[in-house]
Structure 1
Amino acid sequence: MADRYRAAIVGTGAIAGAHAEALRAHGSRIEAVAVHDLDPTRARDFAGRWDIPDVPGTLDGLIDDGVDIVHLCTPPGTHVPIARRLLAAGVHVLVEKPPTLSLAELDVLAEASAASGAHLATVFQHRFGAGAKRLRGLVAAGDLGRSLLATCHTLWFRDDEYYGVPWRGRWATEGGGPTMGHGIHQFDLLLSILGPWERVSAVAARRSRPVETEDVSMALAEFADGTVGSVVNSVVSPRQTSSLRFDFEHATVELDHLYGYRDADWTVTAAPGHEDLLETWRAAAGETARSGHADQVADVLDALDAGAEPPVTVAETRRTMEFIAAIYASAAGGRPVRRGEIGPGHPFHSAMNGDSWNFG
C-alpha cells in the first residue's frame, strides 16, 4: 500500500478536468504529478489551472516521472498505443470510454496487462454512485425479488457543430456513434445491475447528423436471469434525458438524470405488500453529491491498496464492449446475436462496423 499514489493525466480535452477534480478530491491518497498532451501549450495551461508540477514533452518522460497510474483522456483511436506503452512500463491505466475501438483491440490490452502485471481499468463512473451501489446490494440480498423487465434510454442532443471535431462520428477514430460513445455509460450501469446478457436484437440508423456512424440505435436484450430489456441511444433528441427503469417482483426502481445522478434522482415504487422496501431505501439515502469520477477513483484506490485488480476490470469491460458489438452486428445482419458469438475471425470482433458496414 502506497502512502500517496503518483498520478498523471494524458490528454487535456474536456473530460480531463473531471479527472483532475477527482484526483483533487482524494488528495490525501493520490497526487497529480504530471500532465502530457501532444500540444505543449495546452498541457502547460492545464497544469497551471490544476497546480500540476511537471509537463513532460513525451510519454517516456512521463514514465520517467515514476507515476503509478495514468488517467488516459485522449481520443478513443489513440488509446491502444498509449496504453500498451504504459502497461509495458508497469504503469496502471485508467482509460476513458470507449476504452478501445473494438473487441480485438481490448484483447490486445488485456494481453499487455497480463504480461506486465499492471492493471487496465475503464472509466464507467455511473456504477459507483451511492444509488447504484445500494441497488446492487438489494438485488444481491434478494430483497427485490426476481428481475423481470428493464429499460435504458440515453436520449441526448449533439448538433452538427459537435461533429466538426475530426475524430468524432467516424468508425476509424471513434469506433461508432451514440451506442459506442454516449449511451455506453447508461447501459454499462444497466449491465452492472442485471448481470450477463444472453441475446441482442437491434436496429441502428443515421437519421440526421453528418457522420459515418449511426446517430440512433435501439436494442432488445435478453439476460441470463430471464430479464428482458430495451436500450435506446440517441444524439438527435432535443429534450435530453438519461433514464433507467428496473421492474422487479417487489418494486420498480427508476433513475432519471442527465450526466450524473444524486439520491434524489432515484424513485422506488413498491408492489402491494412490500412497502417496507421504501423505508429500506430511504434509510440509506441522503447522498447529495452528483455521481462522477471521484466515486470510481475512490474504489480504484481501495483496490490498489489491497493489491487487487481495480474496477472496472478488463473482464467487466469486455462484457459491455461485447454488448456494443452485438448491437452493431445485429443491426447490420438483421438477426439476433448471442453472447460469445463475436470472437476472433468474426468481422465485428475487429471493428464495430464489421466489414465496412455503413449507412448510405
Structure 2
Amino acid sequence: MAAATTRIRAAVVGTGGIVSGSHLPALRAQADRVDLVAGVDVDEGRLAAFRTQAAEPGETGPGFTVTGYTDLAAMLEAERPDLVLIGTPPSLHREQTVAALRAGAWVLCEKPLCLTLAEYDEIAAAEAAEKPDGGPYASVVFQHRYGSGAVHARELLTSGELGKPLVAHCQTTWYRNTEYYAVPWRGRWDSEGGGPSMGHGIHQMDLLLYLLGDWTEIRAMAGRLVHDVESEDVSTALVRFANGAVATVVNSVVSPDEVSRIRIDCADATVELTHLYGHTNDDWVYTPAPHTRDAADRIAHWRTPAADLPSSHTAQLAVVLDAMRDGIRPPGSGPDARRTMEFLAALYKSAFTGRPVHAGEIAPGDPYYDAMHGNHPDWAPAKEN
C-alpha cells in the first residue's frame, strides 16, 4: 500500500477536545512520517478553530495545513487519506470506521470502537472485504497498553519471571457530576453504549486483559446509585482467567477520591499500577515475595524498563504507523480488541441476568450481542408510544 513507502496522509473526524488535545500533539510528534491534511466536523466554528490551532507549531512538532470538511464522505472522496483518526461521540464510530475502511484508509478510533459485538463484527467484515491481508485495519485507542511500564510488566508476566499470576484487582473509581451527564449523548445506551464500564473503566479493563490474557468467566453486578441515567453508574465483577488467576473489577463515577489501579499478585512478586488518566514508569511498583532470592537485583530489573515512554496517544500512534509501514495488523485491533468488547458485553449480561457468563457464549441471536442492555426490562431504554 502507498502508506507503507511514502509519507502517510492523515485526516481527523471530529475536532473537539480529544482530537485537539491528544491526537493533534500525537500527529505533530510523528510529523517526520505523517501529514495531517484534513479535518471533518459538522460544527463549522469548531472546525475553523481546529484548523487555526493545527496550523501553528506546537510543543511536540510543526503545524499542519488542514483542509476542512463538514461531510465525511466528501472528505474521503477528495483527500483519499491513508489514515483516519476518529474522535466523535461513540454512536458514530461504527458507521465512520466502516466508511473509512471502504475508502481504503486505516482507522484509529477513540474508545469504544463501537457499541455492541454485532457492530464490531460489521467492522471486521468491512476489513476483510477491503483487503484480507496487509490492511486497511481498524484500531481502537487503548493508549495505556503502549506506555513502556505496561509493555515491561507484560513481558515480566508472560515470561514467568514474577511467578504464576494468582489474584488481581482492576479499579476505575472516578467522579462525574450531574453537569457531566447534561451532554445529551452521555448515559444513554444508543449513544454512549453504557456507563462507566463502557466509557471509563474500559481502559483499565483492557489493560488487565493485555497483562493477563484470555478471560474465561465473569460474574458481575451493576447499579444506578446516584445518577438518573439509562445505564449504570457503578459496576463490579469477579473474573476468572484462562491461566487460573482470579480478579475483581470495580468501575464507578460516584467516587470522590479518584484513582485508576491495577494490582496483580503473582507467586514471586506483586506488580501494582496506580495513576488516574495516564501512567509513567514511576507509577509501577514491584514487591518481591518474602522467599525471593537476590531480591535487590530482581527489583532493580523489574523497576527498570528498557524504555521510558508514558502511556499516551503518541505512543499508540507510533505503533499504528509502524504497522502501516509493515503492512501488518496493529495490536489493539481485530480479535485482540474484540476480546475486550466481548468482556464488556459479558459483564453487562452477567450483571443484568444475575448469572455467570463464559467467554464465547454471546453469539448472534443472544440479545447481548445486539445491545449491551440485552433488552432487559430493568435496563433497556423505555420504548416510545
TM tier relative to shorter chain: over 0.9
In the alignment, is the contact (CA less than 8 A) between 2:101 and 2:126 conserved in 1? Answer: yes
In the alignment, is the contact (CA less than 8 A) between 2:269 and 2:287 conserved in 1? Answer: yes
Q: How many positions carry a matched residue from both structures?
A: 359
The sequence identity of aligned pairs, in percent, is 48
In the alignment, is the contact (CA less than 8 A) between 2:43 and 2:70 conserved in 1? Answer: no
Q: Which amino acid aligns with 1:98?
A: P
For residues 273-352 of structure 1, the aligned pairs below 5 Å read: 273-274=292-293, 275=295, 276-284=297-305, 287=308, 290-352=310-372
Q: Which amino acid aligns with 1:5?
A: I
**Structure 1 pair 300–131 and aligned structure 2 pair: CA distance change class (3 A):** same
Partner of 2:68: 55
In the alignment, is the contact (CA less than 8 A) between 2:285 and 2:303 conserved in 1? Answer: no
Q: Find the aligned partners of 2:144 and 2:377 in 1 and give their Cα distance.
A: 31
Q: Find the aligned partners of 2:342 and 2:13 in 1 and give their Cα distance.
A: 26
Q: Find the aligned partners of 2:377 and 2:16 in 1 and give their Cα distance.
A: 29
Q: Find the aligned partners of 2:18 and 2:228 in 1 and give their Cα distance.
A: 23
- Deviation, 1:264, is 1.1
- Deviation, 1:311, is 2.3
In the alignment, is the contact (CA less than 8 A) between 1:99 and 1:122 conserved in 2? Answer: yes
Q: Find the aligned partners of 1:332 and 1:56 in 2 and give their Cα distance.
A: 42
Q: Find the aligned partners of 2:347 and 2:53 in 1 and give their Cα distance.
A: 40
- Deviation, 1:193, is 0.6
Partner of 1:82: 96
Unaligned runs of 5+ residues in structure 2 are 56-64, 381-385
Partner of 2:60: none
- Deviation, 1:32, is 1.1
SS state at 2:5 partner: coil
- Deviation, 1:4, is 1.6
In the alignment, is the contact (CA less than 8 A) between 1:75 and 1:167 conserved in 2? Answer: yes
CA RMSD of aligned residues (A): 1.4
TM-score normalised by structure 2 residue count: 0.91
Q: Find the aligned partners of 2:277 and 2:10 in 1 and give their Cα distance.
A: 25
Which of these residues, 31, 46, 50, is aligned with residue 50 of structure 2?
A: 46
SS state at 2:48 partner: helix
**Structure 1 pair 190–60 and aligned structure 2 pair: CA distance change class (3 A):** same
Listed one character per residue, the Cα deviations across residues 126-149 of structure 1 (whole Å, up to 9, x for unaligned) are: 000000000111122221110101
In the alignment, is the contact (CA less than 8 A) between 1:96 and 1:122 conserved in 2? Answer: yes
- Deviation, 1:358, is 3.5
- Deviation, 1:33, is 1.0
Which of these residues, 244, 252, 264, is aligned with residue 262 of structure 2?
A: 244
- Deviation, 1:61, is 2.7
In the alignment, is the contact (CA less than 8 A) between 2:174 and 2:252 conserved in 1? Answer: yes
TM-score normalised by structure 1 residue count: 0.97
SS state at 1:191 partner: helix
SS state at 2:69 partner: coil
Q: Which amino acid aligns with 1:13?
A: G
Within the alignment, does 1:185 sit opposite 2:203 as a pair? yes
In the alignment, is the contact (CA less than 8 A) between 1:213 and 1:358 conserved in 2? Answer: no
In the alignment, is the contact (CA less than 8 A) between 2:281 and 2:305 conserved in 1? Answer: no
- Deviation, 1:84, is 1.4
In the alignment, is the contact (CA less than 8 A) between 1:205 and 1:217 conserved in 2? Answer: yes
Q: Find the aligned partners of 2:71 and 2:205 in 1 and give their Cα distance.
A: 36
SS state at 2:303 partner: helix
